[in-house]
Amino acid sequence: MYKIKHFALIILAIGRLYSQNVSEAIQKNAVECKDPAAVNQNLYNLLKNYRFICLGEMHGTKEPAEFLTGLAKTFASNNKQVIIGFEIQDSLMASFYQQHDSSGLSKTAFFSGKTVDGRGSEAWFRAINTCNKLGVRFCFFDNTKANRDFVMYENILKCSRADTNAVFITLSGNIHNKIVPHNGSKTMGCYLKERFGKKVCSINYMNNGGTMFSKTADGLKIHQVAPGNSIFSTVTAYENYYLPNIFNIEDYNGFFYTKTMTASLPFAP
C-alpha cells in the first residue's frame, strides 16, 4: 500500500504545478510509446547517453515490464550492449543459469515458487525470456538482508563491471529507484546517483488507474486502482508515453505513463 501512497504524493506535487505552461510543456516533450514493448527510436535519442536507466514499477503489473523489454530491444537495435537487472535474488535463479532458456527460467525457485508480493508474474517471465533472446546479460540484484538498498546497489555495481560500455536497465519498485532518500533512508537509486551522477536516469511509473496483482493491507490479490485523472491523463491524447522531468521535482529524471495499468498474474510453470 505504501507504493500507492507514494504514487499519490507524486501526483499531488505535480498537481500543485499545474498551469497552462506546464500543460503545453507536457504536450511538447512527451514521447509516445504506443506499444511499450516495441523499438522506439525517439526514446533512444533521449536516453542514449545514460549508463544506468532505472525503471520503477508497481508489483504485479504488465506495462513496466513491457517498457523494459522495449528499451532492451531499442538499445540492442542500435548496436548497444545491454545489461538487464531485476529486483530478484540471484540465489533464486540458479536453474536459469544452468539452462539459459524458457524451460530453465520456468524451473527457477523464483518462478516455480509462490509469489509473495506479485513480482513472480507472467509479465516478468515474458520480459526476461524476451530479453534473453536478444543476448543481453542479466543481473538479479535483490537483497533481503539488512541495508537492503545499499546491497542492491553493490550488486548492480558488481554486475556493471562485466561490461563498462553497456547500458544497464533495471526494473524495481518505484521506491528503490528514487534518486533522493525515502523517509530519511537512502535508496538504491540514491547510491547510484551519488557514484555515477548524470549517467543515471531514474524513471517513475505513473498511470491513470486499473488493476494490479500485489500485496496491500487487503492481502495478495488483484486490486482495483481508481482513476486519478491527473495532469498526465488530461493534457495529451497519448495513451502511453515517456516524459522527461520538466517539473520542479527531484525524485526522478522522467516518467513512464500509461492510461491503464493492467494486472499480471503469477507465472504458472
Strands 219-225 and 210-216, by their bridges, are antiparallel
Mind listing the pLDDT tens digit for each residue in 43-62?
999 999 999 999 999 999 99
Confidence of residue 207 (pLDDT cuts 50, 70, 90): very high
Mind listing the pLDDT tens digit for each residue in 237-255?
999 999 999 887 889 999 9
**What pLDDT is attached to residue 232?**
86
**Better-predicted residue by pLDDT, 36 or 6:** 36
Confidence of residue 75 (pLDDT cuts 50, 70, 90): very high
**What pLDDT is attached to residue 10?**
52
Asked whether the predicted pLDDT for residue 95 surpasses 70, the reply is yes
Amino acid identity of 242? Y
Contact 65, 57 (CB under 8 A): yes
CB atoms closer than 10 angstroms to residue 157: 17
Question: What's the burial of 36, exposed, middle or buried (CB within 10 Å: 0-12/13-18/19+)?
Answer: buried
**What pLDDT is attached to residue 20?**
57
Q: Among 7-16, 35-44, 139-148, 233-242, which stretch is predicted with the lowest mean pLDDT? A: 7-16
Average pLDDT over residues 172-201: 96
Q: Give the torsion sign (CA, 225, 58, 145, 104).
A: positive
Residue 36 is given by DSSP the state: T
Cell numbers representing residue 112 in the block = 516455480
Contact 147, 190 (CB under 8 A): no
Mind listing the pLDDT tens digit for each residue in 126-140?
999 999 999 999 999
Coil, helix or strand for 30?
coil
What lies within 8 Å, CB to CB, of 257 at 6+ separation is 206, 207, 208, 232, 233, 240, 241, 242, 243
Strands 200-207 and 52-57, by their bridges, are parallel
**Better-predicted residue by pLDDT, 171 or 21:** 171
**What pLDDT is attached to residue 137?**
98
Asked whether the predicted pLDDT for residue 2 surpasses 80, the reply is no
Average pLDDT over residues 252-262: 97
